[in-house]
Amino acid sequence: MLDDLKYIHQRDGQDALGIAERQATQLEYKFELARIEADIQNVVFAGMGGSALPALLGSTWPGYDLPFEICRQYNIPAYVSEKTLFIACSYSGNTEETLSALAEAEAKDAVIVIMAGGGKLEEIAGQKNYPFVKVPKAEQPRYAVFYMLVGLVTILEATGLLTAKDATSQLAQATSFLKAKVKDWLPTVPADKNPAKALAMELAGKSGVVYGGPLMAPAAYKWKISFNENAKNVAWWGQYPEFNHNEFIGWSSHPVDKPYAVVDLRSSFEHPRVQQRFELSDKLLSGKRPAANVVEAQGETLLEHLLWTINFGDFVTIYLALLNNVNPAPVDLVEKFKKELG
């Protein structure tokens, strides 16, 4: 099925595979943002779903020099003040939780920056002269994650909060690396030579459980989202070493035949003890849970490992969508829910 280009073209009506192939070019995008002069002591990033992803990814690379909290609800942390950099991010610009959090941050006189593709957030930025990063158009928020990562880095550079002064350049330089790797995952590459297709076939018919260490945890969460929204497939994610303190035991009992597919996202940049935990956990759980499908991140830098793992997961879950006989791009039920919620 996955080698049938006619079937792929018919089912992938919005060209999700093409979007995944072109995703690397987002890393070269340049946002224009003037220097932001402020005395910042902490950062709060408000965003939901795919719009929260850039802040999660940023915790791995480039990392944060100040206390940084992601707000995924209507209310903001009590400590927000005039010394807080508050970043309101929503691809649509209309996410109600983010708009509510923004209003609270304004009442606390926080330093406001807005990142959005349009909507009410763009209107507010224009009316109140807030620094504004406009995200280019994409089919869905999850397909704009690299744009938003570049946007977040641009904001942090503009406020002088990044120790690395060349972060945006590093993102742009990673483009050629990712473009080269993507060629192995394209629909024209047959399943017996295509690792993305091969893994999708291993995952078919099961619920996904994706694990990462502290550095790859944001990528594990992105895989979970991609399982949900691309493949319309229920999935969960978890993180080492916390896994060994609770969830590890949950795999040890009944039922023996568990309807799950385990995916371990591993990176050589993880703490050596975290790498050892992956190996030992799979050994001790042998026969008690499905053997893990190990995905070893590729690249020479931590950034390349992160980007490679995310892009590979996009291809895997899009192919899984095709095996599930669903269109990868739309999330109709989410849109229906928003409409009924009003």
Measured distance CA(314)–CA(142) in Å, rounded: 10
Residues 165 and 283 both lie in one domain: no
Q: Are residues 83 and 164 in the same domain?
A: yes
Confidence of residue 7 (pLDDT cuts 50, 70, 90): very high
Q: Which of 125-134, 156-165, 227-236 is predicted with the least confidence, judged by mean pLDDT? A: 156-165
Q: What is the reported pLDDT for 337?
A: 83
329 found inside a domain: no
Give the per-residue pLDDT at 331: 76
Tokens representing 206 are 């099961």
Q: Bridge partners of 43? A: 68, 85
Q: Which band of pLDDT confidence, cut at 50, 70 and 90, is reported for residue 13? A: confident
Confidence of residue 24 (pLDDT cuts 50, 70, 90): very high
**Average pLDDT taken over every residue of the chain:** 95
Nearest residue to 97 (alpha-carbon basis) of 107, 106, 88: 88
Cβ–Cβ under 8 Å, residues 216 and 297: yes
Q: How confident is the model at residue 141 (pLDDT cuts 50, 70, 90)?
A: confident
Hey, is 70 helix, strand or coil? Answer: strand
Dihedrals phi, psi of 29, to nearest 5 degrees: -65, 140
Residues 10 and 30 in one domain: no
77 pLDDT higher than 90 = yes
Q: Flag whether 337 is in a domain.
A: no
Predicted confidence (pLDDT) at residue 330 exceeds the cutoff of 90: no
CATH number of the domain enclosing 121: 3.40.50.10490
Eight-class DSSP state of 210:
E
Position 142 scores a pLDDT of: 83
pLDDT at position 165, please?
A: 75
The number of folded domains in the chain is 2
Beta partners for 69? 44
The band of 339, judged by pLDDT with boundaries at 50, 70 and 90, is confident
Looking at the fold, whether 218 and 263 belong to one and the same domain comes out as yes
Could you read off the pLDDT of 201-250 as tens digits, one per residue? 999 999 999 999 999 999 999 999 999 999 999 999 999 999 999 999 99
Percent of the chain with pLDDT over 70: 100
Assess if residue 340 is contained within a domain.
Answer: no
- The pLDDT value given to residue 164: 76
Q: Which residues contact 188 (CB under 8 A, 6 or more apart)?
A: 5
Average pLDDT for residues 324-342, to the nearest whole number?
Answer: 84
Model's pTM, two decimal places? 0.95
Which residues make Cβ contacts (< 8 Å) with residue 117, sequence separation at least 6? 90, 91, 92, 93, 134, 135, 136, 137, 138, 144
Residue ranges making up the domain that contains 261: 5-14+185-323
C-alpha Rg value of the chain to the nearest Å:
20
Burial 300-335 (b: 16+ CB within 10 A, else e): eebbbbbbbbbbbbbbbbbbbbbbbebbbbbbeeee
Distance of CA 144 to the CA centre of its chain: 10
